[in-house]
């Protein structure tokens, strides 16, 4: 039966594919396709993993038999029997084989997929005792996965299927291995998303998250349709259901009829044609109709992204979120050499164009690791985040600063500091930069000149511009956090997403004043929050005097098209009207 689920639109376009429900992050496993010739080897890997666990349980049973009732209560023996039984369960084994043979999933992926299928059956059971056996099932699957870890797949991975997503136009709802897949999860951390970046999925859906949560931002950077905040989606959709993601409307359609499929197939093709048309603007300079030059820069997460930035015609990197180098590493942070190589790669990858490297901004919805999710603090977004975290760990901060300074010997580097609010923090940051230079001097290590910038993303900073402009060469407005902190709306919380409003007069006032003050003092200013890549806001920002926009590479051409259609001198008075309006959104619509 067809039904739809409404969430938040975070990444445009339409994806049509079969649902892949990912299990809880504690069972995060690699997802890739194997070659057909390797199916047997992959099944053998699972079998060996299972056999190892069966053996382990037999050993435990022998031990239990020699113990007295005090050391080993009767329940323990019964539990081991249950685990053995589950390991031999036909539904589990048959399902795993099915996913490997029919879909060419790697062994771990097949196992966790089938776990989801069987677990759902347990959930539906009337008998409470049987329902509770789901936890046992999860335990044994975890044990098999652990046992398999020793025997990593010897198998080469397949070309990501997302590369073939266009093949879905003539969907026949068949079961070939070439079916596009969409990933559905309750939650995905930014680190999880990074893992999926090179992956096989044609779209994403999560139950939680806001429009500018970092998970949504990474989805957008991958330029694949995504919906977040879809509430109970991961419970309503079943493994392998057909789903349509409408990333423009924020709607998920489950089990669509053939009429709906045809309609969305058409919409998908239209979107692709439109993107194709935009490619014609690739080499056109971004200049308004009245001759104002506009700088369009890219936001990147990893050094390799420099390639897509150049391909999209970016004139530099306006924001390299360096924290993505620090995530998902089980607490082992990258050392100076590793960071230096990463920054150098990004700098060299941009062939002389400027690269703005932001110092690490972890915390809040960007935990270093899933296991280190910040539940311990009451308000992580207001806690030890970004520069606060860096200043609290001088050795880590100095390591990063040295690496960035060294990379500056290979091209134009702009160092950007997130989340500053206090004069004291500014002084400490500058002192650390001096110290990092002195350390490199002492060791005789080469480094290059940098321009120094600050993010304006806390209202206190936007209201202390003179202080900031005294110390920094440029400012970059982080509207994602500026909105969050001005309106007291958690950007990652879908339950208040309707109040997260870039057009709130207070937000616009802070953005407008920052732009105006920088221009008055002849300092560079850009916007690197999601507002910069939103074509509905391009004209307003141009009217407010902004001439530098930094966004995901995928959005650059669409924003360029808006710039080319704009007359900056006419937009200026209009933008002032919008700024002074009680309801700016309405004022924009009326103009
Ligand atoms: C912002 O806050 O607007 C920004 C660009 O930084 P981040 O999204 O990484 O917090
Ligand atoms: Mg921010």
Give the pLDDT mean for 283-297. Answer: 98
Q: pLDDT per residue over 226-240, tens digit each?
A: 999 999 999 899 989
> Do residues 295 and 352 both lie within one domain?
yes
Ligand 2 centre to CA of 484 (Å) is 9
Residue 255 sits in a domain whose CATH number is 3.50.30.10
Ligand 1 centre to CA of 585 (Å) is 23
Per-residue pLDDT at 359 exceeds 60? yes
Residue 412 forms part of a structural domain? yes
**Atom 10 in ligand 1: residue holding the nearest Cα:** 481
Residue ending a domain, among 278, 309, 337, is: 278
Options 83, 214, 432, 552, the catalytic residue: 214
Residue 30 forms part of a structural domain? no
From the CB of 533, is ligand 1 less than 6 Å away?
Answer: no
> Do residues 138 and 174 both lie within one domain?
no
Place of tokens 């009732």: 69
pTM metric for this prediction = 0.82
From the CB of 529, is ligand 1 less than 6 Å away?
Answer: yes
* pLDDT value of position 156: 39
Residue 394 forms part of a structural domain? yes
The closest ligand to the CA of 551 turns out to be: 1
> Do residues 16 and 45 both lie within one domain?
no
> Do residues 241 and 144 both lie within one domain?
no
Residue ending a domain, among 101, 132, 152, is: 152
Burial class of residue 62, CB neighbours in 10 A (0-12, 13-18, 19+): exposed
Confidence of residue 77 (pLDDT cuts 50, 70, 90): confident
> Do residues 175 and 64 both lie within one domain?
no
Residue 31 forms part of a structural domain? no
Give the pLDDT mean for 168-192. Answer: 66
Ligand 1 centre to CA of 458 (Å) is 11
From the CB of 365, is ligand 1 less than 6 Å away?
Answer: no
User: How many helices (DSSP H) and strands (DSSP E) are in the chain?
Assistant: 22, 16
Structural tokens at position 385 = 């985040």
Q: pLDDT per residue over 437-479, tens digit each?
A: 999 999 999 999 999 999 999 999 999 999 999 999 999 999 9
CB count in 10 Å sphere of residue 536: 12
Report the phi/psi class of residue 229: left, alpha or beta, with left for phi > 0 and alpha for psi in -120 to 50: left
Per-residue pLDDT at 280 exceeds 90? yes
Provide DSSP, 179-234. --EEEEES---HHHHHHHTTSSEEEEEESS--TTSHHHHHHHHTT--EEE--TTHH
> Do residues 533 and 388 both lie within one domain?
yes
Ligand 2 centre to CA of 51 (Å) is 49
Give exposure, 229-262, as e/b (b: 16+ Cβ within 10 Å): bbbebbeebebbbbbbbbbeebbbbbebeeeebe
> Do residues 356 and 476 both lie within one domain?
yes
> Do residues 14 and 40 both lie within one domain?
no
Per-residue pLDDT at 161 exceeds 70? no
Residue 68 forms part of a structural domain? yes
In ligand 1, which atom is closest to the CA atom of 418? 6
The closest ligand to the CA of 549 turns out to be: 1
> Do residues 210 and 230 both lie within one domain?
yes
Confidence of residue 95 (pLDDT cuts 50, 70, 90): very high
The range of the structural domain enclosing residue 8 comes to 3-22+156-278
Confidence of residue 251 (pLDDT cuts 50, 70, 90): very high
Residue 348 forms part of a structural domain? yes
What's the total number of domains in the chain? 3
Residue ending a domain, among 232, 250, 278, is: 278
> Do residues 273 and 328 both lie within one domain?
no
CB count in 10 Å sphere of residue 455: 27
Residue 28 forms part of a structural domain? no
> Do residues 255 and 334 both lie within one domain?
no
Bridge-partner residues for 355, per DSSP? 317, 413
Residue 553 forms part of a structural domain? yes
From the CB of 361, is ligand 1 less than 6 Å away?
Answer: yes
> For 578, what's the count of Cα atoms within 13 Å in the CB-facing half-sphere?
27
| Residue whose C-alpha is closest to residue 453's, from 485, 432, 429, 434 | 429
Residue 414 sits in a domain whose CATH number is 3.20.20.60
214 catalytic per annotation: yes
Per-residue pLDDT at 248 exceeds 60? yes
528 catalytic per annotation: yes
**Atom 9 in ligand 1: residue holding the nearest Cα:** 321
Mean pLDDT of all residues belonging to the chain: 89
CB count in 10 Å sphere of residue 509: 15
For residues 123 and 518, which has the higher predicted lDDT (pLDDT)? 518
> Do residues 466 and 419 both lie within one domain?
yes
Ligand 1 centre to CA of 481 (Å) is 6
Residue 90 sits in a domain whose CATH number is 1.10.274.10
């Amino acid at each position: 039966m067809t039904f739809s689920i409404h969430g938040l639109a975070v990444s445009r376009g339409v994806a049509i594919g079969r649902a892949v429900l990912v299990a809880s992050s504690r069972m995060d496993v690699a997802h890739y396709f194997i070659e057909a010739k390797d199916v047997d080897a992959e099944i053998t890997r699972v079998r060996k993993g299972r056999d190892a666990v069966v053996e382990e349980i037999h050993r435990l049973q022998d031990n239990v038999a020699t113990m007295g009732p005090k050391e080993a209560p009767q329940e323990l023996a019964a539990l081991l029997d249950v685990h053995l039984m589950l390991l031999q369960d036909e539904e589990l084994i048959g399902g795993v084989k099915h996913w490997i043979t029919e879909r060419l999933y790697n062994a771990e992926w097949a196992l966790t997929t089938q776990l989801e299928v069987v677990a759902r059956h347990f959930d539906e059971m009337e008998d409470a005792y049987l329902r509770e056996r789901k936890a046992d099932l999860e335990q044994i699957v975890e044990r098999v996965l652990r046992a398999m870890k020793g025997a990593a797949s010897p198998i080469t991975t397949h070309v990501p299927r997302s590369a073939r997503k266009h093949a879905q136009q003539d969907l026949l709802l068949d079961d070939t291995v070439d079916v596009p897949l969409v990933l559905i999860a309750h939650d995905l951390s930014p680190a999880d998303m990074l893992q999926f970046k090179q992956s096989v999925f044609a779209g994403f859906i999560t139950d939680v998250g806001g429009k500018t949560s970092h998970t949504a931002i990474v989805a957008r950077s991958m330029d694949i349709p995504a919906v977040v905040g879809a509430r109970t989606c991961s419970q309503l959709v079943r493994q392998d259901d057909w789903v349509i993601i409408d990333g423009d409307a924020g709607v998920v359609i489950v089990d669509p009829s053939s009429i709906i499929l045809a309609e969305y197939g058409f919409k998908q093709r239209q979107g692709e044609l439109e993107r194709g048309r935009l490619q014609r603007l690739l080499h056109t300079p971004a200049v308004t109709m009245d001759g104002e030059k506009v700088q369009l820069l890219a936001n990147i997460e990893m050094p390799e992204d420099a390639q897509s930035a150049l391909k999209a015609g970016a004139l530099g990197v306006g924001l390299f979120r360096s924290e993505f180098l620090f995530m998902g590493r089980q607490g082992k942070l990258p050392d100076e050499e590793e960071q230096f190589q990463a920054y150098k790669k990004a700098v060299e990858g941009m062939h002389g164009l400027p690269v703005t490297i932001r110092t690490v901004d972890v915390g809040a919805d960007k935990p270093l690791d899933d296991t280190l999710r910040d539940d311990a603090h009451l308000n992580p977004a207001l806690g030890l985040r970004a520069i606060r975290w860096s200043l609290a760990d001088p050795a880590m901060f100095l390591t990063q600063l040295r690496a960035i300074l060294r990379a500056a010997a290979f091209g134009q580097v702009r160092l950007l500091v997130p989340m500053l609010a206090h004069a004291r923090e500014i002084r400490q940051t500058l002192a650390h930069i001096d110290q990092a230079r002195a350390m490199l001097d002492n060791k005789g290590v080469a480094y290059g000149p940098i321009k120094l910038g600050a993010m304006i993303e806390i209202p206190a900073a936007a209201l202390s511009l003179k202080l900031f402009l005294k110390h920094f060469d440029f400012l970059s407005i982080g509207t994602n956090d500026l909105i969050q902190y001005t309106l007291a709306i958690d950007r990652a919380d879908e339950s208040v997403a309707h109040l997260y409003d870039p057009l709130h007069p207070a937000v616009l006032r802070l953005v407008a004043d920052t732009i105006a003050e920088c221009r008055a003092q002849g300092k560079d200013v850009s916007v690197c929050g999601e507002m910069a890549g939103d074509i509905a806001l391009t004209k307003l920002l141009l009217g407010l005097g902004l001439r530098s926009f930094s966004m995901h590479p995928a959005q650059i051409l669409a924003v360029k098209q808006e710039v080319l259609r704009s007359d900056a001198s006419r937009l200026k008075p209009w933008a002032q009207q919008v700024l002074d309006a009680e309801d700016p959104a309405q004022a924009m619509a009326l103009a």
